[in-house]
Amino acid sequence: MAKSTRTPLISGNWKMHHNHFEAISTVQKLSYLLTKDDYEAVDVSVHPPFTDLRSVQTVLEADEIPIALGAQHCHWEEKGAFTGEISPAFLAKLNVTYVICGHSERRELFGETDEMVNAKAKAILKWDMTPIICCGETLEEREAGGTDAKVAGQVRAALSGLTPEQVAGLVIAYEPIWAIGTGRTASADDAQAVCSLVRATVAEVAGAEAAESVRIQYGGSVKAANAVELMAQPDIDGALVGGASLVAEDFAGIVQFHAAT
């Protein structure tokens, strides 16, 4: 199967790393390393902690750096008595483009349910931002042969109630939980197989046109060394990068995978 014409999206999820000074420095270094050719070939987003968002926004806009600002999480309500949560309306005011939704760490550590992920996806879309909806299985589920059921179920639940037009503009990230931060990576063939399943599930829910348009990322110990092989797969349209996005040189190496293809 030939590679599609979907523009790859490489997203750096900084998780609970980098204070706002470190975030500014990382973005500036990244901008020095990436070229016009990189930005033409690949969409890039960075997802710093909430306390960094305004600082990073200011740098990106003042220096006209063509990197999209992303957030790691939000609540589904616009406002209310939700101490410690972040409103999607607040993120929209900061010109956030992408919001990670249902990351495995949010699901596994903080008890986010499929219903919550669906509510968040709808709220993110309401405020004209794009959800990066995450799905993925644990090692136990994988070894028990439950990968397909787990991933397809998460995708169906996340897309419930969305129109085909909304689904077409989404990003879905397949991130096997067993590969996050462990140094273990799904083989390119295995990653492609699950990303193909994700696309087939989208087609069942929202139709073939939406499935062809939706961008599917792979996440899980992505590095410059494996990025080229992963990105060559027909149903992998980018990467959701964790640890390797914290160092500008490492992240730039992943973004520049296109130069080797």
Decide if 175 is catalytic.
Answer: yes
Residue 212 burial (CB count, 10 A): 14
| 72 within 8 A of 39, measured Cβ to Cβ | no
Asked whether 155 and 194 are in contact (CB, 8 A), the reply is no
Q: Amino acid letter at 242? A: G
Catalytic residue among 18, 47, 73, 103: 103
The verdict on whether 47 is a catalytic residue reads no
Rounded CA-CA distance 28/25 in Å is: 5
128: left (phi over 0), alpha (psi -120 to 50) or beta: left
- Which residue in 176, 162, 165 sits closest to 219, CA to CA? 176
- Candidates 105, 112, 137, 175; catalytic one: 175
Burial, 160: exposed, middle or buried (Cβ in 10 Å; 0-12, 13-18, 19+)? middle
Cα-based distances in Å from 110 to 26, 103, 104: 28, 10, 9
Catalytic center residues? 103, 175
